[in-house]
Amino acid sequence: MSLTIDFEARAAAAWMFGSFVVVFLATRVVVRLIRAGKGPFRNQSIGGVHLHHLVWGIFLMLVAGVAEFTYSPEPPWRYVLAAAFGAGAALALDEFALWLHLSDVYWEREGRVSVDAVFVVGALMALLVLGFNPFDPDTADGITVVIGTIVVNGLLCVLALAKGRPLLGLLGFLVPVLALVGAVRLARPTSPWARWRYPEGSSKRLRSLRRFPERERRRWNAFVDAVAGAPNAPAEPTASDTSAVPDAPTAPAAPAAPTSQAIPTESREQEGAR
């Protein structure tokens, strides 16, 4: 990994990162106004189908990517394409939860993963602007050392991701020490690593549950709510939920006493013959 602080060489990355941040914040302001029913903004739909803003994001990224690969323009058009790509990435990642769940969970608790994805990608872009390079072109130590370093760092990043540490795992591609920290720390209880390596009742499982209690609101969650808006509160149980409880069984009714009308006709005729 090399670190070269050369803002002229990183100008395109700076335009991409700046556009990414501005468009994400502007998008969150607009959707919060729509949610509150304020301002001139409304949801867009075509033919009765809601048009998510990730569609515009995918379109912008496609246009910027194709133009860059096809024409490779010089500045300032390179900066224009970089800004377009950053804006498209912000619009698309702001609805990352929709990619993952294939359902509109934007304002649900599951939708918080979209904000996490935006923060992770934004941090990666910021490191690129500063000049962090995970693939150092300097091979003075030999190509074997370079390849070995990349492979080991990649394995640490995968381990950090498996432990439920997406921020450390992704940033570790640019800063290897972060991947190492995520790989050696305790896994989250809902992560694949915990399900595989932390059996029920084990000391590590209990430590993980204490370290990451379910639904606990930390300062980080409060910060995310301030930036992106708080998710909807969990739905309260309704009367229809309680109606599903089966009724208590009732005692069987006692058989009715026989009446004179219930006496067979043959018995009455024998009684009269006597």
Give the model confidence (pLDDT) of 154-183 as tens digits: 899 999 989 988 888 888 888 888 889 999
Percentage of the chain exceeding pLDDT 90 = 28
Q: CB atoms < 10 A from the CB of 1, how many? A: 15
| C-alpha atoms less than 13 angstroms from C-alpha of 70 in its C-beta half-sphere | 7
Check pLDDT > 90 for residue 50. no
Give the pair of three-digit tokens for residue 70: 């096809």
The whole-angstrom separation of Cα 255 and Cα 262 is 14
| C-alpha atoms less than 13 angstroms from C-alpha of 66 in its C-beta half-sphere | 6
Window from 115-124, 131-140, 161-170 with minimum mean pLDDT: 131-140
Average pLDDT for residues 52-74, to the nearest whole number? Answer: 94
Q: Are 86 and 15 in contact (CB under 8 A)?
A: yes
Q: Are 4 and 129 in contact (CB under 8 A)?
A: no
- The model's confidence at residue 143, banded by pLDDT at 50, 70 and 90, is confident
Check pLDDT > 90 for residue 217. no
Q: Is the pTM of this model over 0.75?
A: no
User: In 3-state terms, what secondary structure has residue 3?
Assistant: strand
Check pLDDT > 80 for residue 25. yes
Give me Rg for the CA atoms of the chain: 32
- Which residue in 128, 110, 93 sits closest to 23, CA to CA? 93
Check pLDDT > 70 for residue 261. no
Query: What are the beta bridge partners of residue 3?
Result: 132
| φ, ψ of residue 213 in degrees (nearest 5) | -65, 145
- The model's confidence at residue 29, banded by pLDDT at 50, 70 and 90, is very high
Beta-sheet pairing, 49-50 with 45-46: antiparallel
Of 273 and 118, the one with more pLDDT: 118
Domain ranges (residues) in the chain: 1-133
Which residue type does 101 have? H
Window from 6-10, 104-108, 111-115, 205-209 with minimum mean pLDDT: 6-10
